[in-house]
């Protein structure tokens, strides 16, 4: 089954189980590496548990879902998106968090593409699939999806759950939490980094609100726009839109473009770019950043055409890089 067939068959009502089960039957999800189902075997407790979770009923005697890898993946993702503690999800499935995170991101890419197909067909569950795609792509629980782009590298999944339980499901509310409540949720060495990022995101949201009227008038008259238009969404850290074309990026390519897109037509220093991409206080390596810049431009050229990359990112000798696009043609949300 392909993605278009999945979109055609997507149910208009029901829970996330059927949506995820269908996505997990697609080849990219089935090829994601996972250990064999624990306590496998036809009629095993784990097989019966899979059946109950997917169908909300007791399985027939001949259920053999322990051999159905797509069913295992769907149930793992249901638990991974829930508010269950990470260790509990690992214990249930005998799968480490890293493997579940990689599976989530792979299925998240499929869900994002599926959401676009559903939206094009005015499907009533397009919004729900898009929310699933955001949570999976960011590798966060659904209750903490608003915190996904806020989390510094190394922040545990359980810290995001704790923040959501504290009534801080987004960056703005995180800034309002007292320090002692933050310390109860987040490892101490990550708090200042997280707060700095939350403050930056709040500022960018204010800028986006100011840009929206101009953006809406441009949308009404697209023929007046010239050059590549860049859209960067923090909830989609694996893709951007260039000239209306979706471009899939690696995490570091995305972080590089995001750092430049926040300050169009300004030079962003090598030090600032290194901090944005790796979040480490080390000596910046311009050659390393330039290598990722070349990879970024190759991906843009492949998806949107070589003309979309002409003069897009300029090197400022001895200082850093600059996104050479008019500020009104860049949208960061």
Q: How confident is the model at residue 6 (pLDDT cuts 50, 70, 90)?
A: confident
- Region 237-265: mean pLDDT is 87
Q: Which of 139, 167, 183 is the last residue in one of the domains?
A: 139
Could you tell me where the beta strands, DSSP code E, fall in the chain? 230-232, 239-242, 245-248, 267-269, 313-316, 320-323, 330-332
Question: Do 121 and 243 belong to one domain?
Answer: no
Q: Provide the CB-side half-sphere exposure for 280 (13 A, CA).
A: 8
Q: What is the pLDDT of residue 228?
A: 47
| pLDDT at 193 > cutoff 50 | yes
For residue 247, give the CATH number of its domain. 1.10.10.10
Question: Do 170 and 105 belong to one domain?
Answer: no
- Region 312-332: mean pLDDT is 88
Per-residue HEC secondary structure of 13-46 comes to CCCHHHHHHHHHCCHHHHCCCCCCCCCCCCCCHH
Number of domains comprising the chain: 3
- For the beta carbon of residue 243, count every other beta carbon within 10 angstroms: 18
Q: What is the pLDDT of residue 213?
A: 45
- Mean pLDDT taken over the chain: 80
| pLDDT at 223 > cutoff 50 | no
Question: Do 179 and 274 belong to one domain?
Answer: no
Question: Do 211 and 231 belong to one domain?
Answer: no
- In which domain, by residue range, is 209 found? 145-221
For residue 97, give the CATH number of its domain. 1.10.3380.30
Question: Do 255 and 318 belong to one domain?
Answer: yes
Q: What is the pLDDT of residue 86?
A: 94
Q: Which of 187, 221, 255 is the last residue in one of the domains?
A: 221
CA separation, residue 92 to residues 21, 86, 88, 96 (Å): 18, 10, 6, 10
Q: What is the pLDDT of residue 83?
A: 93
- Region 159-188: mean pLDDT is 88
- Region 108-130: mean pLDDT is 88
Q: What is the pLDDT of residue 66?
A: 40
> String of b and e for 209-220 (b: at least 16 CB within 10 Å)?
eebeeeeeeeee
The candidate with the shortest Cα–Cα distance to 308, out of 322, 296, 321, 291, is 296
Question: Do 94 and 47 belong to one domain?
Answer: yes
Side by side, the strands of the sheet bearing 320-323 are 267-269, 320-323, 313-316
Question: Do 130 and 8 belong to one domain?
Answer: yes
pTM to 2 decimals?
0.59
Q: Which of 167, 190, 221 is the last residue in one of the domains?
A: 221
Question: Do 156 and 260 belong to one domain?
Answer: no
Question: Do 165 and 103 belong to one domain?
Answer: no
């Amino acid at each position: 089954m392909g993605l278009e067939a999945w979109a055609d068959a997507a149910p208009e009502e029901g829970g996330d189980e059927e949506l995820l089960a269908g996505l997990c039957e697609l080849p990219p999800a089935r090829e994601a590496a996972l250990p064999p189902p624990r306590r496998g075997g036809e009629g095993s407790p784990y097989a019966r548990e899979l059946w109950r979770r997917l169908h909300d009923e007791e399985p027939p005697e001949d259920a053999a879902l322990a051999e159905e890898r797509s069913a295992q993946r769907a149930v793992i993702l249901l638990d991974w998106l829930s508010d269950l503690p990470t260790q509990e999800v690992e214990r249930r499935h005998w799968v480490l968090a890293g493997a579940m995170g990689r599976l989530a991101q792979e299925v998240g890419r499929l869900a994002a593409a599926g959401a676009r197909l559903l939206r094009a067909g005015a499907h009533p569950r397009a919004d729900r699939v898009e929310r699933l795609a955001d949570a999976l792509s960011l590798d966060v629980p659904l209750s903490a999806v608003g915190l996904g782009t806020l989390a510094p590298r190394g922040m545990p999944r359980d810290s995001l759950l704790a923040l959501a339980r504290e009534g801080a499901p987004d960056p703005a509310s995180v800034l309002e939490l007292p320090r002692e409540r933050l310390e109860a949720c987040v490892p101490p060495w990550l708090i200042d980094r997280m707060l700095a990022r939350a403050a930056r995101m709040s500022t960018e949201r204010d800028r986006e609100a100011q840009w929206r009227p101009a953006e809406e008038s441009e949308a009404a008259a697209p023929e007046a726009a010239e050059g590549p238009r860049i859209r960067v969404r923090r909830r989609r850290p694996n893709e951007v839109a260039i000239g209306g074309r979706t471009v899939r990026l690696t995490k570091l390519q995305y972080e590089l473009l995001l750092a430049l897109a926040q300050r169009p037509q300004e030079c962003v220093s090598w030090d600032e770019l290194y901090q944005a991409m790796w979040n480490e206080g080390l000596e910046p390596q311009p050659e390393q950043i330039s290598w990722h810049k070349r990879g970024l431009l190759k991906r843009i050229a492949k998806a949107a055409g070589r003309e979309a990359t002409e003069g897009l990112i300029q090197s400022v000798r001895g200082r850093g890089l600059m996104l050479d696009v008019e500020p009104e043609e860049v949208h960061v949300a």
